[in-house]
Amino acid sequence: MIVIAYLAAIVAANLIVSEFGPAASVWTAFAFIGLNITARDRLHDNWQGNNLAIRMTLLILSGSILSWVLNRDVAMIALASAFSFGVSEFADSAVYSRLMRHGWLRRVNSSNIASAAIDSVLFPLIAFGGFLPMITLGQFAAKVLGGAVWSVALRRRTLVVACFTLVAAPASAQTLSVGVGQYANDFVRQDVVEVVGLGPIGTSAIASFDLSADGKPVLLAQIGRTIVNSFPALLAVDVGASAGPWDDYGHWEPHTSLRAMAFLVGPLKAMAIYTVQPFADWQRGVVVKLDYTLW
């Protein structure tokens, strides 16, 4: 699953940069390359002592070759990606190996800083034919920040949701957003981070992470209908189910919710969701959050 996510991310990044140019590389650095430099640390754990160097080399080359097969115009981008990833992998592996006695978050984020610095210099230099200081700085910051986010998401409990967020939600979503807020029901109050993909005909998929519960995710799949859509506010009703196989629930729980949203500045919006879940131990819950639309 990590290998599939890795290849999907590198192919998506290469194709997007080839289509939209250097400026897009900063965005892909956060969303996709941050995943790649973090995922290879997880693969470092899984493949240690089993031809690690050969496997990583083949994986890096596979991503570039697959990008070229899908679009022959991406050749220079794919070449730059393979070379910069290959060189930065040495730095990443060296730092990561020296920190094996430390916890996962420290190991992965420390090694990400080293590899992101090298990759951010080499990739634009080869792909775009010159040193672009602002693009290089933007890529470096985006990779380190994106890697930090993925270092939490790629904990074993949340791996499935991470792959869903990277592949399933963007592939099917018309818009994708991230938000932070607070959820409360009859029993608990939780601080949450949510990734929301809105698809066609009112469908949506949500990955919700409870920050106070070791980042354990809950998935929500639902379909809704907008009943008031007068800018700058929106009121909608949703019907669906939440799934907790990766948290303490372990089963699906149907719900109905009323969603009110106010647009603040540009893609930033405030949202309140009132949920009724009649077949659970609790019956009513409220989410209040700030949400930012990525696209």
Say which amino acid occupies 292.
Answer: Y
Local confidence band at 252 (pLDDT 50, 70, 90 cut-offs): low
* Residue 101 in this model has a pLDDT that exceeds 50: yes
* Residue 32 in this model has a pLDDT that exceeds 80: yes
Local confidence band at 246 (pLDDT 50, 70, 90 cut-offs): very low
Residue 289 burial (CB count, 10 A): 21
Averaged pLDDT of the chain: 79
User: Would you state the pLDDT for residue 167?
Assistant: 56
Backbone angles phi, psi at 3, to 5 degrees: -65, -45
User: Would you state the pLDDT for residue 234?
Assistant: 77
The first and second tokens of residue 33, run together, are 């390359």
225-237 mean pLDDT: 75
203-211 mean pLDDT: 77
* Residue 231 in this model has a pLDDT that exceeds 70: no
- Of 159, 144, 111, the closest CA to residue 2 belongs to 159
* Residue 35 in this model has a pLDDT that exceeds 80: yes
* Residue 42 in this model has a pLDDT that exceeds 60: yes
User: Would you state the pLDDT for residue 230?
Assistant: 73
* Residue 65 in this model has a pLDDT that exceeds 50: yes
Q: Which domains does the chain have, with CATH numbers?
A: 2-154 (no CATH), 174-293 (2.40.160.20)
* Residue 96 in this model has a pLDDT that exceeds 80: yes
Using CB atoms within 10 A of its CB, is residue 171 exposed (0-12), middle (13-18) or buried (19+)? exposed
Q: How far apart are the first and last CA of the chain?
A: 26
1 versus 106: the higher-pLDDT residue is 106
128-144 mean pLDDT: 85
Percent of the chain past pLDDT 70, that is, above it, reads 83
* Residue 106 in this model has a pLDDT that exceeds 70: yes
Residue with tokens 């393979």: 82
The first and second tokens of residue 177, run together, are 């957003």
What b/e readout covers 235-268, taking b as 16+ CB neighbours within 10 angstroms? ebebebebbbebbeeeeebebebebebeeeeeee
pLDDT in tens, 139-162: 888 888 888 877 776 665 555 555
* Residue 245 in this model has a pLDDT that exceeds 80: no
153 versus 243: the higher-pLDDT residue is 153
- What are the distances in angstroms from CA 126 to CA 22, 83, 121, 137, 152? 12, 9, 9, 16, 31
pLDDT in tens, 159-201: 555 555 555 555 556 777 888 888 888 777 888 888 887 777 7
